[in-house]
Amino acid sequence: MRKSWKKYAGIFWCEWAKPFLMVALVVVTFRSAVADWNDVPTGSMKPTILEGDRIFVNKMAYGVRFPLTPFRLLQWEGPKRGDIVVCFSPHDGRRLCKRVVGVPGDVVAYRNKCLYINGQPMQYGDPGSVSIPKQYIDHASQYQYSLENLDGVDHLVMTHSQSSRGLDFSPVELNSNEYFMMGDNRDESFDSRYFGVVLRKDILGKVNGVVMSLNPDRVYTPRWDRFLLGLQ
């Protein structure tokens, strides 16, 4: 009986447990150091990223981390203005998806719903033919949509039409390895206006696109038009 039990245990280990653990180790290592995907639970990046989107995060965009640790083995060019990144919140350590609006050496300010970099206001234009997610069309009167140009990166930002809730702040000068983050939903984003700058070591990677999207307002039905959607 004992020999039989050892035999079956050996078969289970070799044919099931060991391959499963190897695959799990590869997947965990890959997601930790190379690429990952994150679900988006809030609307702070609307209309660029929606609640229910699952985003693709390139963790090698700014360097190489030792798997399962915060330590970097290699580091190259840092995030640029306009990049969408996943970072740890200085407030509570949660993962956040935000846009980089200020890089080391910049002086960043926000007044009357206009972003200023080094004393210069960013350019804002009419959205024109840029696609606004369908669910916001019916409520367009509640929002203002603008096309913000941030170092050549054109992206939509939204604000409340009849609200001054956007948090203004005096100029902030960024030191080495400090980045200023904001959400594209400018009046409803918990970002660097509240929790301060984000250090480079707390930036996990660059968001390249939406892998898939499920609409939480419609029993998580797929938003097919957002599958494999590139972002900027």
- Whether 14 and 74 share a structural domain: no
What region does 228 belong to: left with phi over 0, alpha with psi -120 to 50, or beta? Answer: left
- Whether 25 and 81 share a structural domain: no
- Whether 134 and 166 share a structural domain: yes
Residue entry with tokens 């980089």: 100
Instruction: Taking residues 53-67, report their average pLDDT.
Output: 83
Provide the pLDDT confidence category of residue 133 given band limits of 50, 70 and 90.
low
pLDDT for position 1: 46
Q: Kindly report, residue by residue over 74-93, the tens digit of the pLDDT.
A: 777 889 999 999 999 998 88
Whether cis (ω within 30° of 0) applies to the bond prior to 47 is yes
- Whether 70 and 146 share a structural domain: yes
- Whether 208 and 189 share a structural domain: yes
59 pLDDT more than 60: yes
Share of the chain above pLDDT 70, in %: 74
- Whether 49 and 132 share a structural domain: yes
More confident residue, 74 or 155: 155
- Whether 183 and 88 share a structural domain: yes
Instruction: Taking residues 127-151, report their average pLDDT.
Output: 72
- Whether 14 and 101 share a structural domain: no
What region does 13 belong to: left with phi over 0, alpha with psi -120 to 50, or beta? Answer: alpha
- Whether 103 and 141 share a structural domain: yes
Instruction: Taking residues 150-172, report their average pLDDT.
Output: 81
Mean pLDDT across the chain: 82
On whether the CB atoms of residues 147 and 47 are closer than 8 A, the answer is no
Active site (annotated) includes residue 98: yes
Which residue is catalytic, options 44, 146, 192, 213?
44
Share of the chain above pLDDT 90, in %: 42
- Whether 12 and 122 share a structural domain: no
Domain containing 204 equals 38-230
C-alpha 86/C-alpha 203 separation (Å) is: 6
- Whether 137 and 209 share a structural domain: yes
**Paired strand residues for 99:** 84, 182
Active site (annotated) includes residue 6: no
3-state secondary structure 38-95: EECCCCCCCCCCCCCEEEEEECCCCEEECCCCCCEEEECCCCCCCCEEEEECCCCCCE
Which residue is catalytic, options 46, 59, 89, 98?
98
Listing from the earlier edge strand, what are the strands of the sheet with 120-121? 120-121, 114-117, 107-111, 169-173
- Whether 96 and 165 share a structural domain: yes
CATH of the domain at 207: 2.10.109.10
**Contacts (Cβ under 8 Å, ≥6 apart) of 83:** 99, 100, 206
**Contacts (Cβ under 8 Å, ≥6 apart) of 198:** 87, 88, 90, 98, 178, 179, 180, 181, 192
Tell me how many domains the chain contains.
2
pLDDT for position 61: 80
